[in-house]
Structure formats: structure tokens, C-alpha cells
Structure 1
Amino acid sequence: MNFYRGDLHIHTVLSPCADLEMTPANIVERAKKSGIEIIGITDHNSTKNALLVKKLAEKVGIYVLTGAEVTTKEEVHCLAFFEFEGQLSQFQQFLDEQITIIPNPDGHFGYQPVVDENDNILELIPNYLPAALKSGIHEVQQKVECLDGLFIPAHVDRPANGLFSQLGFIPRGLKFDAMGISQFSSEKDVRKHHVLGNEITLIRNSDAHNLQQIGEICTSFWMGGMNFSEIKMALNQQKNRFVEVK
């Protein structure tokens, strides 16, 4: 087995809460300098900068999970990742159809640019991206599963927008590959407080909104190589693959 450092929760400049310096090129450069080998691109309810990050990262040997941080109807934040561009495109269509339309005139809530590799603005998303979807957490999870993606409730320990803060429990029948925890809680404390057994994989990520945060918090992956299927096996503790939170 090989050891890899992963940070699976990074926002680009497309997220209105992220710094304008969070361009795809800058993210890749910072991840490389930080020794991060696997990154997840998780803009709020949009995948539109993810493929460019992947393209740039491949040139320097970084593996990118392309996806989004989804806000469900219950306002639970969940990470969704996909292996192929076609799956990502189908999920983007789902997001566009399901998001609640809240106008963001003149970047009132923050600018939301789709950019090219030279940081030129290609598009400004007119509606507020972190708005909740019309779909509940089960519907979102089932859509991700239908597209053979990874589904990870994010920062479940946080007092807002986490699975437990919003719902108070793990809904019956909800399938997930792992749960994310924030930098403010230890794995031991989260497992004890929410009575989570070791069969549930926990990962910790930076939730980076500025360049300095990338790689400050990461998860260790023990697996056979850097690809989607290996990451999925590690998250699900299969075939001697696993992850560690330190």
C-alpha cells in the first residue's frame, strides 16, 4: 500500500465565500507546495471550475476529485464527487434544476466567477450558489449513487449546516462513503459524542476558502494508487485500503 495526503474540501473563486485568489491555477500551485497529492474541488452547488482544476493538476501529478458541496433542502452540506466528465455534467444539470433561485445582483453576496486557466472571467453566475436545493438529503444521495459518485456529509460536527446540527441523527437508509469533520473536533470526540462506530469512516479536510488554508488540515490515504476506485475503497475500508485522521 502507498501513502497519500488528501484535502477533499476546497473552494475555488466560484464560491462567493472564497477569496478571489482561489483560482484553479493558484489552488494547484499551493497544493503542490503543501505536499497534497489528492484534492477535492467543492464549490457551493456548482461544478463549473472543477474540470479546469483537474486539467491543471494532472500536469503536476495531483489527483483531483471533481464535484461540489451541495446544500440540501434541510440545509445539510454534503460533498459529492464524480469520476467522469459526463457524470459531472449530469449532476450539474440536477443542481441547476433543483437550486432555489436567490438573485445575487452585482455580487451582493460575493462574486461567483467561472474562470479559464489564465484567470480570465468566462461567466458570472447570477444567482446565489449556496442556496438550498429543493431536494432533500435522501434525494441528493440517491442521485449521487445513481451516477456512481462519492457521497460525504460535510463537517458533521459543526453547529450549522452539519448532518447532526440540522437533523440530529443519521436518517434511516442514508448511504454515504464517509463523514467529514472539521478542524475544531477530534475524531475521538466526534465518535463518542455522536456514537459512531469504527465502521463509519471519518475524514478531516481544510474546507479551504483561501490559499493559506489548503493542506493545513488533511487526511492520510493508504491505498494502491491515486484513482477514483482506490479512493472509494479506502473510504469504505475495503481490500485493506483505509484512511487516517491525525
Structure 2
Amino acid sequence: MTPVAIIAKAKEIGLDLIGITDHNSTLQAREIRRVGQLAGVEVLCGAEITTREEVHVLAFVEGDDSLDKLQEWLTNNLIVVPNNPDIFGYQLVVNQNEDVIYQEDNLLIGAIDKSIEEVEEFVHSLGGIFIPAHIDKQQNSVISQLGFLPTHLRVDALELSSNVNIEDFKKMNSYIAKKPFIQSSDAHYIDDIGKVYTELKTEGTTFEQIKSAINRI
């Protein structure tokens, strides 16, 4: 999925805001943000981080400085396994002209050597947004890996996949029912973009306004 194709699809289906969270990498996000700015689509930049427990969490940060710090932290803590393109495909960063500007040689679908608590602490130290991902799934979710959501985790929201109804999930998991919930497409293919989405009531599109709107869901 190239930056131009992602933004074109978002524009086509009427999305005003999208989040870009590649696995354990922020490197593609700012290229997509650049295309989004030209098309009038806001882009939240971040990463989908795999913790030491193999829990997937979404992390969003504001501005290039924080994005650079997040990327450096991910690079320094990634458990290094060389990528095999014949099995996992090439891991490329593509610009708005669809030119390849970088190739990542280490496999990004593994874990970093940090616990979920350490990830949460670091993301919030950057003023970021921390959201455990697709917590209803039977693999790589905080519930599948730990059996529950730790009450001491400072979550900005909890994400559900497109496979469940939010209200039904809350009834089955009443101990977290009062947390903010979002639902996202978790798109890995163009046609999946916008398959499910969350409406935010916000007065603007600054990072803090978006973060506040998520906290109020």
C-alpha cells in the first residue's frame, strides 16, 4: 500500500483522519502524512508495537521530534532477526512518487524487548497516545496474552477489531466497560481501509484535541 493509494482510498470513502501504525516502525508514516496534507486528510503517525509478551499496542505521537525518538527507541529495542524477503516480503519505505527510499533488513513482525508497561511508560513520556490493539482477538491481544487488562496500565483507549460489537464486548468484559473504546479497520490491504471506523467529536485536529476526543469516547 503506497502513500498515494492509502490517502486516495481514505479520501474516496470520506475519512477525515487516519492513523498509520506499521509494525514496530514509524518510517513510512511521515511520507503518508505528507501526501495527506496535500489532500486534506489528517494523519496520526505512530507504530503498532509488539511487546515482549507479544501484545500488540498502538502508539501515536505528535511531531517529528517525538516520532524520531519513538523510532530510535524501537530500533534500539527490536529483537534482531534478519528478514527473509522470500518468506515475508520486502519491507520498503515509499515516497509520494512511489520511489523506494529505504529498505528495512531486520524483520519487523517480531517483538521488541520491552514489556507492555515499559511501552506504555515510554509512549506517555513523549506525550503520546497508548491504545492496546484488537483486544478481542485470540492472538497478540492483551487479553489473549495476559488473560486480562492490567488495571495499572494507563490506556487512552482500547481498540476492538471489526469482528465484534462494542456493546456486546463490554457486557462480556464488564471490568473494563467504562474505558474508552475505538474500532479500527486494521487495514493491511487497500480495500480494508474504512471497513470499520470510529467517529470522534472534536473541535479541531490538533494532536491534543484528537487525544482528548479519544479519551472522551
- Normalising by the residue count of structure 1, what TM-score does the alignment of the two structures yield? 0.86
Cα-to-partner distance string for 1:97-131 (whole Å, 9 max, x where unaligned): 11111111334312100111111111211111011
How many residues align? The count is 217
Tell me if 1:156 matches 2:131.
no
1:79 to 55, 58, 64: 58
Name the CA distance, whole Å, in 1 between partners of 2:20 and 2:3.
10
Structure 1 regions of 5+ residues with no counterpart? 1-21
Match of 1:230 in 2: 209
1:64 to 43, 61, 74: 43
Amino acid at match of 2:68: S
Name the CA distance, whole Å, in 1 between partners of 2:62 and 2:72.
16
Match of 1:145 in 2: 124
SS of 1:29 mapped into structure 2: helix
Q: Is the CA contact 1:190–1:196 (under 8 Å) kept in the aligned structure 2?
A: no
Question: Hey, which of these two has a bigger chunk of helix by percent?
Answer: 2
TM alignment of 1:194-205, pairs within 5 A? 194-205=173-184
Match of 1:206 in 2: 185
Name the CA distance, whole Å, in 2 between partners of 1:47 and 1:101.
17
Change (3 A) 1:200 1:217: same
- Normalising by the residue count of structure 2, what TM-score does the alignment of the two structures yield? 0.97
Name the CA distance, whole Å, in 1 between partners of 2:206 and 2:146.
33
SS of 1:230 mapped into structure 2: helix
Name the CA distance, whole Å, in 1 between partners of 2:67 and 2:30.
9
Match of 1:30 in 2: 9
Name the CA distance, whole Å, in 2 between partners of 1:68 and 1:106.
21
Cα-to-partner distance string for 1:51-98 (whole Å, 9 max, x where unaligned): 011111011211110000000000000000011100000000000011
Change (3 A) 1:107 1:230: farther
TM alignment of 1:91-240, pairs within 5 A? 91-237=70-216
Q: Is the CA contact 1:113–1:125 (under 8 Å) kept in the aligned structure 2?
A: yes
Amino acid at match of 1:212: D
| Alignment root-mean-square deviation, CA | 1.1
Structure 2 regions of 5+ residues with no counterpart? none
Q: Is the CA contact 1:67–1:80 (under 8 Å) kept in the aligned structure 2?
A: yes
Aligned residues with identical type, % of pairs:
40
SS of 2:211 mapped into structure 1: helix
Tell me if 1:39 matches 2:18.
yes
Q: Is the CA contact 2:79–2:111 (under 8 Å) kept in the aligned structure 1?
A: yes
SS of 1:87 mapped into structure 2: helix
Q: Is the CA contact 1:38–1:65 (under 8 Å) kept in the aligned structure 2?
A: yes
TM superposition shift of 1:189: 1.8
SS of 1:173 mapped into structure 2: coil
Name the CA distance, whole Å, in 2 between partners of 1:83 and 1:232.
10
Name the CA distance, whole Å, in 2 between partners of 1:65 and 1:101.
27
Q: Is the CA contact 1:41–1:50 (under 8 Å) kept in the aligned structure 2?
A: yes
TM superposition shift of 1:199: 3.0
Q: Is the CA contact 1:63–1:227 (under 8 Å) kept in the aligned structure 2?
A: no
Cα-to-partner distance string for 1:144-189 (whole Å, 9 max, x where unaligned): 0000000000000000001100001122421110000011111012
